[in-house]
Amino acid sequence: MQSSVMPKCGRMVGFNASNYHGVQAVQSGQRCAVALWFTLDPTHREQAHDSLHEVLNTLEAAKASEAVKPRVEL
């Protein structure tokens, strides 16, 4: 199967990377490309993502414990 996508500002094209694919030369302007991949396999979780959630959970717990403490005003 072969298809072409005409360029348009803001347009994004997604496809399965295992399919043979390519691009034609840019005649004017510039091409911007972003490589992304997604998985639900937990063995490929990002360590930074896990660390961020640990920090957020710690901050939420600290905020919750401060909310419970009565304030003493002088």
**pLDDT score recorded for residue 69:** 62
Joined tokens for residue 60: 């939420």
Q: Respond yes or no: is residue 71 known to be catalytic.
A: no
- Sequential pLDDT tens for the chain (74 residues): 778 888 788 888 888 777 788 888 988 888 888 888 777 888 877 777 778 888 889 998 888 887 666 666 66
Give me the catalytic one of 11, 31, 45, 71.
Answer: 31
Structure confidence by residue, pLDDT tens digits, 11-32: 888 887 777 888 889 888 888 8
Question: How far apart, in whole angstroms, are the C-alpha atoms of residue 59 and residue 52?
Answer: 11
